[in-house]
Structure 1
């Protein structure tokens, strides 16, 4: 009669693999169950309840657990899935045969049936129990048909006590080891959960060094971490701060670092809003590209890139007002360059140190456009202009000669969204010494609208009063 006494020594848990159930407790449980059945038969023979030929059943009960162990561990059966459940069904068939050969003597028969049903419930639940009972009943009927029932279904007191004691011992020992297994599994689950939480925390820390799109593609398994590249058509963006070199000579390093980090933080938020892949920060420069690892198509990628640049230019006005209130008088402006074309994108470097970036002449062109741009200006290549011209107003800036390009390159200056041109535009700005106004009416709530109107009226009243004086 078999049970599963599954308990093992603590070991390092691999969270990627299911917790394995050791075979030795199966052997121990089966040995315990069959030994209990052999003791019951032996006592029954001594009390003349069973015939003497049943000594062969005792021998079979004591040998079978060892045979099963060899079959399931030393032969091809060790590769069979759900071998534990299959072998327990064999035990149920043997148990039913035992009960039939015992002649359905009540207490020993019930004891054997209880041990089998208890084992089935532990190992495989209701489904295993159902199949086990079915096989037990079938083999029992066959054995009764061969042997016939006993003359009396009652057993002497000693045989009954032995049967109940053996069954009780089997159930208690099996329950104890099942409890130990539950504790082991709980500890394993806790350890796996802790490892998972540590992995998540570590991955979030590492994500600070990668663009969110690249980090997500790596940790979801979409992209392998190996040296490989591919050719893709991307929109490439470069920007830097006009006047930053002069500012760095005026400010203390700590204050300059704080300003630069605040600038990068704000610009990164805008880039992520439009789905840009942040490649790197170099000094006060930012390099971003669109189209990898995710893309919405060439036209939408280019439009998202230019839209990001326009919002960065607008957002810079807000930041400039904040810096001015902090005592930074230098009027910091950003200049930007954008090109669209085929580049080589992927992991570059060595096996133990990689950098996910892009290379190609379009990268050089975007960098060249950024260096040619004036303060607050966005220059784009012709390829980019052709993809966005229906939604964004641009101004022809002529042609330039760029290393790596056989012909002069036509460039354009981004003016604004076409929807924001004319009297219905949502964006307004006005700056003078001592006065700065930036308004994007699409982003203003009704509550904020009243507050802004009140502030403008107070400012207008004050200016009128000073004129009267």
Structure 2
């Protein structure tokens, strides 16, 4: 993926005509760069969405069978206290870009970012797991003493307006909140689809929105990664 940097523009109020003129000039010079950024993002997401849907769509309905993943940063609240707003903004932008690259490289599609959390979809459980392993092993997070954790689900979901709804989505979202730092919790559906996963069953979890305790599996990262 070709990465396009964000234009470094800061606008403020001033009574100095020269400063105002320079600001307008800076904005004018940034317009071509913004156009390149928009074009790159549009093409990247179009290709990603097309590739994903070609793999998961089974019929003309909005129902698809795919893998759902959530990952977030543990220790992020503490990080917000250590960084300035500018540093935090840069970190989140760089982290989001790196995460998007990983998800797309492994054949997935980023659905949305919610603060320090990312939701993505993959057409197969194997691809879903590969993305999660790459995210948990993220070097940029380790550089600032953060750890990534993930929750994975698989099954039939409803695709509406670029978002996804259904039990596998809800389960994956609950599993990531139950995971420990650096841990990947997968649902039994993911485990059944990829039986050779190095996954260890956990004690049944009581999760919000689920009437009965849920059995999840702790996915261990291979030692050679």
d(CA) in 1 for partners of 2:43 and 2:78? 30
**Alignment equivalent of 2:140, drawn from 314, 319, 337:** 319
d(CA) in 1 for partners of 2:213 and 2:150? 20
Which position in structure 1 is the counterpart of 2:96?
264
Could you tell me whether the CA contact under 8 Å between 2:174 and 2:208 is conserved in 1?
no
**Alignment equivalent of 2:121, drawn from 285, 289, 293:** 289
**Alignment equivalent of 1:246, drawn from 78, 93, 100:** 78
User: What is the CA deviation profile of residues 427-460 of structure 1, one whole-angstrom value per residue up to 9, with x for unaligned ones?
Assistant: 3xxxxxxxxxxxxxxxxxxxxxxxxxxxxxxxxx
Aligned residues: 186
The alpha-carbon deviation at position 205 of structure 1 amounts to 4.9
Which position in structure 2 is the counterpart of 1:336?
150
d(CA) in 2 for partners of 1:208 and 1:260? 22
Could you tell me whether the CA contact under 8 Å between 1:239 and 1:370 is conserved in 2?
yes
- Counterparts of residues 215-230 of structure 1 (less than 5 Å): 230=62
Is 1:416 aligned to 2:221, yes or no? yes
Is 1:214 aligned to 2:54, yes or no? no
Q: CA 1:284–1:208 in 2, change beyond 3 Å: closer, same or farther?
A: farther
The alpha-carbon deviation at position 270 of structure 1 amounts to 1.1
The alignment's C-alpha RMSD in Å is: 2.8
d(CA) in 1 for partners of 2:95 and 2:46? 17
Query: SS state of the match for residue 416, structure 1?
Result: coil
For structure 1, the 5+ residue unaligned runs are 1-199, 292-300, 348-355, 421-425, 428-469
| Higher normalized contact order (CA 8 Å, seq sep 6+, divided by chain length) | 2
- Counterparts of residues 256-405 of structure 1 (less than 5 Å): 256-291=88-123, 301-314=124-137, 316=138, 318-320=139-141, 323=143, 328=144, 331-347=145-161, 356-390=162-196, 392-405=197-210
Could you tell me whether the CA contact under 8 Å between 2:48 and 2:104 is conserved in 1?
no
Q: CA 1:284–1:229 in 2, change beyond 3 Å: closer, same or farther?
A: farther
Q: CA 1:211–1:393 in 2, change beyond 3 Å: closer, same or farther?
A: farther
Q: For the pair shown, which has the larger CA radius of gyration, 1 or 2?
A: 1
d(CA) in 1 for partners of 2:100 and 2:199? 25
Structure with more of its chain in strand, by fraction? 2
The alpha-carbon deviation at position 206 of structure 1 amounts to 5.7
Query: SS state of the match for residue 399, structure 1?
Result: coil
Could you tell me whether the CA contact under 8 Å between 2:52 and 2:109 is conserved in 1?
no
